[in-house]
Amino acid sequence: MSIEIKAPTFPESVADGTVATWHKQPGEAVSRDELIVDIETDKVVLEVVAPADGSIAEIIKGEGDTVLSDEVIAIFAAGDVAAAAPAAAEAAPAEAAAEGDADAAAGPAARKLLDENNLDASQVPGTGKGGRVTKEDVLNYLKNKPAAAPAAAPAPAAAPAVEVPAAGERVEKRVPMTRLRATIAKRLVEAQQNAAMLTTYNEVNMKPVMELRKQYKDLFEKTHNGTRLGFMSFFVKAATEALKRFPAVNASIDGNDIVYHGYQDIGVAVSTERGLMVPVLRDTDGMSLAGVESAIADFGQRGREGKLGIDDMQGGTFTITNGGVFGSLMSTPILNPPQTAILGMHKIQERPMAVNGEVVVLPMMYLALSYDHRMIDGKDAVQFLVTIKDLLEDPARMLLDV
C-alpha cells in the first residue's frame, strides 16, 4: 500500500521549510515512527517519522528543496519491505549507469558525507538495496578507517593530497548557511536597524542568592523530585516582578500602536548546535521557582536533542539571555523583536567592593538591559534594572511581594 509522506503543517508565521536530511533512502527498511527526514524552518527543525513499517518507494523532494505546508515529499510503501523494495533496488543501478558516476549509487545524505570527507562511492561497500551506499555505510567506513591506515601506508602516492594539507597551506571550507542561521542573522540586523536600541548597565551582589541556594539546594532537589535550584529561576521571578511594576518594558510596538501585555511570558535564550533558540516560559507570575527550573531544564534537554517545537518559541514579552555560562563578563544583548527589552546576565566574578566604608570581596555580576528607546524612556529602563538588582540582593522581597 502506497502512502503519501507530507511536510508538517506549518503555523501562519512560517511560510515554508527546507528538506535538511533524508535519514532513510528508497528501499531501506523502516519501522513505524522511525525518523526518516528532517524539515528545517526559520525557527526550528521538524522531524517526520514513518507512518508504518515498510520502506520509501520514491523521494519527491530532495535535500535542499523548499517545501510548503502539507506538501507531498515522498511516497511510502507500507508492508513487507522485501516486496516493496525491488523497484527502488532496480532504480539505483539504472540511475548509476545513466549518470556514469559511482556517486549516483549513493543517496543524497550519503553523497553529502562522501563530499565532506573527499571520498568516492566506490571506496565504500554499500549495504543498501542493489549495493546502494547509505549514510550509515559511510559513517561505518569513516569509523573503521583508522584500522585500515597501516595497510595503505606502503602506497603513500595513492592518498589524495587534499586529505592532508601541506605545511603552510591556507585551507578554506565553504558551506551554505542553514535556514535557521540565516533567519537569526536577518532578525538581528533588522532589530538594530528598526529600533532605537540603547543599553543600560548595573551590577548585582549575588552573595544573598548564592547563600540561599547553598542552604536549601539539597532540600529543594529532594522536595521537587530531582529539580535543581539554579540562578535563572531567581532572575525570571525578579524580572517578572519588575515587568509588573514597569508595564512599558513588557509592551511591544505594532506599527503605530503600543501593545501593553497583561501577562508575563519570558523567553530564555538556549544555545544549541543549530543556533540560538528562545523558548518561552508562559505566565511566569504564576510559576514557582521549581516550575521555572523544571521548564528551563526541559527546554535545554529538548534543545540539545533538536526537539523544541515552534509552539515553544512563539510569542514572548521579554527575554533573558545568559552569556555568563560561556564566561562573558559584559556584553550588549540585541533585542528580540517585537519585544522592546532584553536582559543580559553575565559571569559571576569576585571583586573588591566598598561596603559601609570597608573593602569586602563579593561575588558580583554585571547586568545589561537593552531596550527600545522609542517605547521606553531612560528613567524607566534604569529603574527597571535597579528593581531587578534590589530583588536579587534581597530575595525575601520576592517572596513577600515588597
Dihedral sign of CA atoms 75, 80, 86, 92 in order: positive
Q: Which set of grid coordinates corresponds to residue 303?
A: 534543545
Measured on CA atoms in the order 64, 70, 74, 78, is the torsion positive or negative? Answer: positive
- What CA–CA distance (Å, rounded) separates 232 from 235? 5
What's the CA gap between 167 and 103, in Å, rounded?
A: 31
- Sequence-separated (6 or more) residues with CB below 8 Å from residue 6: 70, 71, 72, 73
Q: Phi and psi for 53 in degrees, rounded to 5?
A: -70, 140
Check: CB of residue 76 under 8 Å from CB of residue 1. Answer: no
Q: Please tell me the distance from the alpha carbon of residue 308 to that of residue 44, in angstroms, as a whole number.
A: 7
Helix (H, G, I), strand (E, B) or coil at 393: helix
Q: Is 373 a catalytic site residue?
A: yes
- The catalytically annotated residue of 373, 380, 394, 401 is 373
Backbone angles phi, psi at 330, to 5 degrees: -160, 140
All cell numbers assigned to 128: 543498501
Number of other residues whose CB lies within 10 A of the CB of residue 235: 24
| Cα 14 → chain centroid | 17
Catalytic residue from among 70, 115, 298, 377: 377
Residue type at 224? H
Residues 341 and 371 sit within 8 Å (Cβ to Cβ): yes
CB atoms closer than 10 angstroms to residue 80 = 12
Q: Which residues are catalytic?
A: 373, 377
